[in-house]
Chains A and B, each alone.
Chain A
Amino acid sequence: MPAEHAFPDSAAKNASGEIEAERMSISMGPSHPSTHGVLRLQMELDGEVVRKAEPVIGYLHRGDEKIAENMTYNQFVPYTDRLDYLAPLANNMAYAIAVEKLAKLEIPPRCQAIRVITAEMARISAHLLGLGAFGIDVGAWTVFLYSFTEREKLYKLFEELTGARFTTSYSRIGGVTRDVPEGWTGRVNAFCEQFLPRLEETLSLLTRSRIFVDRTAGIGVISKEDAIAYGLTGPNLRASGVPLDLRKDKPYSGYEQYDFDVPVGTKGDGYDRYLVRGEEMRQSARIIRQAVARFPGGSWQAEGARRIVAPPKDRVLTSMEELIQNFMIVTEGPQMPAGEVYFEAENPKGALGFFIVSKGGGVPWRLKIRAPSFCNLSILPKVCVGAMMADIVSILGSLDFVMGECDR
């Protein structure tokens, strides 16, 4: 025990002359059940009250941005799976749209609809996990299992569509890897049909639960001003009362055609964030059902971009011209014009942005990722101070971040 903390002779006194208890410095994470991956919080505790919390990040740093400079645009798609690994389809789409914006490609409506459906399914899947993990953080295990039952059904649909449950890598520059399988949209619709009642059932375990409200209401309050100042996006920002949703404000991939509401919270506490996520899942299901109802036909890949979009496989095997085209795209990468582009999409965790600098050719010169979880975590030192030890897990659960994206 250092001399300055020795009790009681030289006990630290605060401004009003009261003896302050000895503080305990405690490290929460990177291997802790409630830090959602490898976040580490270096905290100072006064009894059970947190006086200081310092997030230590970087345990999952892989250098994705640098990796991107060493591979062609299409080769980077699997890396986007691993950003917010709970919503890989949404990441794939955001990245593809950013590159397509650089190339000024027109995306056919069918491809846009597929992307909207998959992105919204990814949103449901990510929010379900957020909800379940939040449940575990406050001790409600059953919510977690209920939400995972639904996620499993989504994973089955993802697997059918992309061949992978988790790391989907579904987007390609100028389109998607393959068209939707026969009858898939019907099964998606059937999922939405049965999902909504199940969602209500799951949420009913928490929404009116006195213990849950006690654990979340008024905990981790983020004011509107703070939310904007710290660059929060997504449900965390909307829960603080800022109605910013890029799907509405800067529509992409045809989101302007769909009718949906943007839920907004009032207090900005954990309970509001929970309610906003719950409502977003209902709205996502609404979007999916609209998209399925008016699912357009036609091509699922951009046409007329011979140096970007690979030709159909059957033509590659039969025609010399297409064989060469395919070979060039695979080896040299999709040929992009020189220029800079920034695009951000409304991902489940917030605005996922890609800033791409191209000097022409098939490889980006620089690729910067704006990760919503990184910005959302920046507010932790502010909201954690004064909270109880057990509130920290409630706050972390309500912020719903993914370290894969934060550390990238």
Chain B
Amino acid sequence: MIDFFFGLPVPVQALLKGIAVIGVIFPIAAACSMAERKVCAWIQSRSGPNRALPPIFAWIPGAGILQRLGVWQLMADGGKFVFKEEPLPDHVNKLYYTLAPVVAMVPAFTTVTVVPFGAYLGPGGRVIPLALANVDIGILAVFAVASLGVYSLILAGWASNSKYPFLGGVRASAQLISYELSMVLAVLPVFLWVNEPGTAGTLSLARVVEFQSRPGFWGGAWFLLTMPVSALVFAVALFAETNRQPFDMPESEADLVGGFHTEYGAFKWSLFFVAEYANMIVGSAVFALLFLGGWNLFPGISLARLLGGLHHLTGWALWLHPLVAGLASIAILLGKVLATIFVFMWIRWTVPRFRYDQVMRLGWQKLLPLSIANLIAYTIGIALLQR
């Protein structure tokens, strides 16, 4: 199967990978949007969407459970976005207005390709990461491509030719650029630690996970435990980068009506939100890979050890099958990603929203000095430790 795939011409491979990204991220993003509604409903002690059930499916056993989970509502919403009228207001710059949602989608989906989403055990228990494009510059590629997403907000705000979106676009440009800085500085210590002297330098995310799965106290501990400040700064910056409340300045609906997407509707509007959720998924995945040990179940228990232990316990050779390892690693990582997204939602529905200047002040006056101090401290610490 794998050989067959690699036997295909490269463009066909790329096409299949692209389809895989869309086929995986779209449903997860959609599921996240429903999870958002359900989580906020639980937090607000109400039921959330639980009414939609197409009569033609009502006879299927279990359809009622899906109804209570809002799955049909999700499909109805998706269908609505696709089929409702596409408004194109007269006063907008039509080219850029149409382009903006696309520009939002492209970086969001491109970053997915370089994020390793699992691993399987190769010969000799070697962990081989699964990624659509296992590039060596991993994290750099994520940052580089993800930061392009800001153009969509600016473009949308500007092309809408309307005052509220314009303000949203201005806020977006300033906010996203400010927080990118702290975000990158926050992950630098991780890579300083990972790239010990004597090893080939790499920015690969898989390498970070591998480092966190090494036996021994320092190696087995997640970076969340050994670098809490980095993790905190990264998490906060992630909120800002993905426009999540309390940092959702570009679309803060209380004062800017809808922010950059005020003039959007139907499918174009929904594309912004698929992009937002895709960004959230990628951001959470990067957070899980960098700080939560990736596909290692617990600190100190790597994937190989977990499966080896299970094999030892039950005596089933099945545990060592690459497919099982791959699926287990994907499940563990996905669980962590979803848990991180849940925290995103939890915070969104609990705290109020910052004001724009407070967001900027927090970014430049608190997070940036903190991440610089953190970087310096770890640089010195790592130099002393590894000498």
Contact = CB atoms under 8 A, between A and B. Distances in A.
B358 A139 contact: no
B357 interface: yes
Contacts of A145: 44-46
A390 B356 contact: yes
Contact of B350 (A138, A142, A149, A215): A142
Given A24-B163, A211-B246, A138 B353 contact: yes
B328 to A, nearest CB: 36
Interface stretch (A9-17, A26-34, A70-78, A180-188): A26-34
The prevalent SS among residues of B at the interface is: loop
Nearest to B258: A33
A392 B255 contact: yes
Contacts of A26: 163-164
* Residue with the greatest number of chain B CB neighbours at <10 A, chosen from A24, A141, A209: A141
Interface string B311-348: 00000000000000000000000000000000000000
Contacts of B245: 139
B188 interface: no
B355 interface: yes
A153 to B, nearest CB: 13
B194 to A, nearest CB: 34
Interface size class of A (residues with CB under 8 A): 20 to 34
B351 interface: yes
Given A24-B163, A390-B255, A393-B255, A139 B352 contact: yes
A139 B353 contact: yes
Contacts of B44: 141-142, 145-146
A262 interface: no
A392 B351 CA distance: 19
Nearest to B248: A139
A100 interface: no
A138 B256 CA distance: 12
Contacts of B232: none
A272 interface: no
A240 B92 CA distance: 45
A139 B254 contact: yes
A59 B255 CA distance: 20
Interface in A354-397: 388-393
Contacts of A60: none
Contact of B252 (A24, A139, A141, A146): A139
B253 interface: yes
A214 interface: yes
Interface string B230-245: 0000000000000001
Contacts of B358: 211, 214-215
Interface string A31-48: 011100000000000001
A214 B164 CA distance: 23
A34 B254 contact: yes
A142 B255 contact: no
Nearest to B351: A211
B352 A206 contact: yes
A138 B357 contact: no
Contacts of A48: 167, 356-357
Interface in B238-292: 245-246, 248, 252-257
A22 to B, nearest CB: 13
Contact of A212 (B45, B163, B253, B352): B352
Contacts of A392: 255
Given A142-B43, A146-B44, A33 B254 contact: yes
Given A33-B253, A390-B255, A393-B254, A215 B355 contact: yes
Nearest to A136: B254
Interface of B: 40, 43-46, 163-164, 167, 245-246, 248, 252-257, 349-358
16 contacts: A136-B254, A138-B353, A139-B254, A140-B351, A141-B40, A142-B43, A145-B45, A146-B44, A146-B45, A214-B354, A214-B358, A215-B354, A388-B356, A389-B356, A390-B353, A392-B255
Q: Which 9 A-B pairs have the closest CB atoms?
A: A139-B353, A145-B44, A140-B352, A138-B352, A139-B352, A390-B355, A393-B255, A393-B254, A390-B255
Given A139-B246, A139-B352, A205-B350, 19 more contacts: A32-B257, A33-B257, A137-B254, A138-B352, A139-B353, A141-B40, A142-B40, A142-B44, A206-B352, A209-B352, A211-B246, A211-B352, A214-B354, A215-B352, A215-B353, A215-B355, A215-B358, A388-B355, A391-B355
